[in-house]
């Protein structure tokens, strides 16, 4: 493990434009439950029944009660962990340029990252279906479901439900950032959800070095990852950042 982290630090310390793709794994240590995989939210509830846009529009009260309320409670408690803070430090050092995240928890911004592309939107904000007013999730009372805007319209999370398209700007920016980077960190994602899962392939096709940090192998591990480092983001990322910092201090 130490040798792998040393090699990853060597690569990052010379990078001019690193990008990171993050998934649920980086936020699990902050108390945010994953959607997929063992122990994931989709093991408890049927996503097509409660996480499809048609389900929300047909019965918003039930979707709020079964799905969104639990997520709000987790978000209210969540704070960035050492993995998030390590990425902020890589940005401060001038190495990390952009964060592409599949997560909807807003923890990268809370930690301090400046350029965050939210591929699936943001659960921490709500939008009124009638007047399009935005409001922070933390400021909304769940005493009555579904919560409503001051205009009377129903509030929905600003995340992407099943059946909705990825925001065009997020998709285009992610593709461009992936094509332009010289190193891509892939952290805490199964790399199975499309179209986000194509980003490491775009990076690889354009000459980027792929460093993967995951607790267990993914479809990327044996295919395009140049340097897989198996472990939790909250443990690996701080160690990696410390090694990068040492190398930069020697320059």
* Known catalytic membership, residue 134: no
Q: Which of 25, 72, 12 is nearest to 211 (CA)?
A: 12
Omega of the bond leading into 195 within 30 degrees of 0 (cis): yes
Pairing assessment for the beta strands 18-22 and 96-101 based on DSSP bridges: parallel
Which contacts (CB < 8 Å, 24+ apart) does range 88-93 have?
88/112, 88/113, 89/241, 89/245, 90/12, 90/18, 90/20, 90/241, 90/244, 91/115, 93/244, 93/245, 93/248
The tokens for 77 are 């408690």
> From the candidates 84, 108, 120, 168, which is the catalytic residue?
120
Instruction: Say how far residue 19 (Cα) sits from the centre of its chain.
Output: 13
Residues with a catalytic annotation lie at: 120
């Amino acid at each position: 493990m130490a040798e792998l982290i040393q090699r990853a630090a060597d690569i990052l310390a010379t990078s001019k434009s690193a990008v990171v793709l993050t998934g649920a794994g980086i936020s699990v240590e902050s108390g945010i439950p994953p959607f997929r995989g063992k122990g994931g939210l989709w093991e408890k509830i049927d996503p097509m029944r409660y996480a499809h846009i048609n389900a929300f529009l047909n019965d918003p009260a039930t979707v709020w009660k079964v799905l969104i309320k639990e997520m709000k409670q987790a978000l209210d408690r969540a704070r960035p962990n050492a993995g998030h803070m390590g990425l902020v430090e890589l940005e401060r050092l001038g190495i990390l340029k952009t964060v592409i995240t599949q997560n909807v928890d807003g923890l990268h911004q809370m930690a301090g990252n400046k350029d965050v592309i939210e591929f699936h939107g943001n659960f921490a904000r709500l939008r009124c279906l009638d007047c399009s007013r935005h409001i922070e999730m933390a400021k909304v009372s769940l005493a009555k479901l579904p919560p409503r805007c001051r205009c009377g319209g129903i509030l929905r999370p600003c995340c992407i439900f099943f059946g909705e398209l990825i925001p065009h700007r997020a998709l285009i920016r992610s593709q461009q950032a992936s094509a332009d980077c010289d190193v891509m960190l892939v952290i805490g994602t199964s790399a199975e959800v499309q179209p986000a899962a194509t980003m490491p392939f775009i990076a690889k096709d354009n000459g980027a070095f792929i460093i993967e940090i995951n607790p267990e192998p993914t479809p990327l591990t044996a295919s395009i990852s140049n340097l897989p480092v198996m472990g939790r983001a909250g443990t690996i990322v701080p160690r990696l950042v410390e090694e990068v910092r040492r190398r930069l201090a020697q320059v």
